[in-house]
Chain A
Amino acid sequence: GDSVTQMEGPVTLSEEAFLTINCTYTATGYPSLFWYVQYPGEGLQLLLKATKADDKGSNKGFEATYRKETTSFHLEKGSVQVSDSAVYFCALSGMRNTDKLIFGTGTRLQVFP
């Protein structure tokens, strides 16, 4: 079945460092791909999405490119801030069932001043 695999955390960085959080997926056809972010004590919020191959989603300085050849959707940011500390979830919307999002296990990011 469809699935998402994320790198395990926590990822610990200093402020202004470059961030990459890896995400790969297994799915039939052409799923839509998402990154959600969960700040402490809150629910998840959509960070960015891409709906077809080679699309780049971007928001708040974060970017991810839908790579069908490597079945990947890695999250990147050029210069992280303390306020980016959160848990990041990669997710896909499978083709077989049009009403469900499948989430990865989440990656905790900790940014220190």
Chain B
Amino acid sequence: NAGVTQTPKFQVLKTGQSMTLQCAQDMNHNSMYWYRQDPGMGLRLIYYSASEGTTDKGEVPNGYNVSRLNKREFSLRLESAAPSQTSVYFCAHGYRRNEKLFFGSGTQLSVL
């Protein structure tokens, strides 16, 4: 499982609802990431955390918040879901930038 647990696997929300995607890794890596994957757009970085206690915006942070709860866990929150946030979300983690990233199996989110 690439050392990462990502939940839930599927979720359907109504516009305006909130939810939190959970991610936990067991490889003691410093860096954790949230990406979204959309057809024709590839993967786009939402937020990342280079170490416990720090977070930074990626390419598409609007409408999202994150929390690096500890070294293992990095959650992504949608406060008020919009149809444009319908996507597949991937959590990833790694040790250094030029080392490989380990990806979770994804969360398929639909916002109606």
Q: Which of A38-72 contact B (CB under 8 A)?
A: 41-46, 49, 51
Chain A residues with CB below 8 A from B96, complex form: 98
**A105 cross-chain contacts in B, Cβ below 8 A:** 40-42
| A103 touching B43, Cβ below 8 Å | yes
Q: How far apart sit A32 and B98, CA to CA, in the bound complex (Å)?
A: 6
**How many A-B residue contacts, CB cutoff 8 Å?**
57
Measured CB to CB, the closest approach of chain B to A5, in angstroms, equals 11
State in angstroms the CA–CA spacing of A46 and B90 once bound together.
Answer: 14
Give chain A's interface residue range (CB within 8 Å of chain B): 20 to 34
**B111 part of interface (Cβ distance < 8 Å):** no
- Tell me which residues across on chain B come within 8 A of A45, comparing CB atoms: 2, 103
Beta-carbon contact of B43 and A99 below 8 Å: no
In the bound complex, what is the Cα–Cα distance between A51 and B100 (angstroms)?
12
| Contact of A24 with B by CB under 8 A | no
Complex Cα–Cα for A1 and B2 (A)? 30
Chain B min CB distance to A59 (Å): 11
* Chain B residues with CB under 8 A of A36: 101
Beyond A89-B42, A89-B43, is A32–B97 a contact (Cβ under 8 Å)?
yes
**Are the C-beta atoms of A100 and B105 separated by less than 8 Å?**
no
Complex Cα spacing A15 to B17, Å: 47
One of B41, B50, B100 near A46 (C-beta < 8 A): B100
For the complex, is B13 an interface residue (Cβ under 8 Å from A)? no
Q: With A and B bound together, what is the CA distance between A37 and B90 in angstroms?
A: 14
**A51 CA to B50 CA, complexed, in Å:** 20
Q: Taking A41-B105, A43-B106, A89-B43 as contacts, is the C-beta distance between A99 and B100 under 8 angstroms? A: no
Closest chain A CB from B7 CB (angstroms): 13
Give me the interface of B with A, judged by CB distance under 8 Å.
2, 31, 33, 35, 40-45, 48, 50, 56, 58, 90, 92, 96-98, 100-101, 103-106
Query: Can you list 8 A-B pairs with a CB-CB distance of less than 8 A?
Result: A43-B103, A43-B104, A46-B100, A51-B98, A99-B97, A100-B45, A100-B97, A101-B33
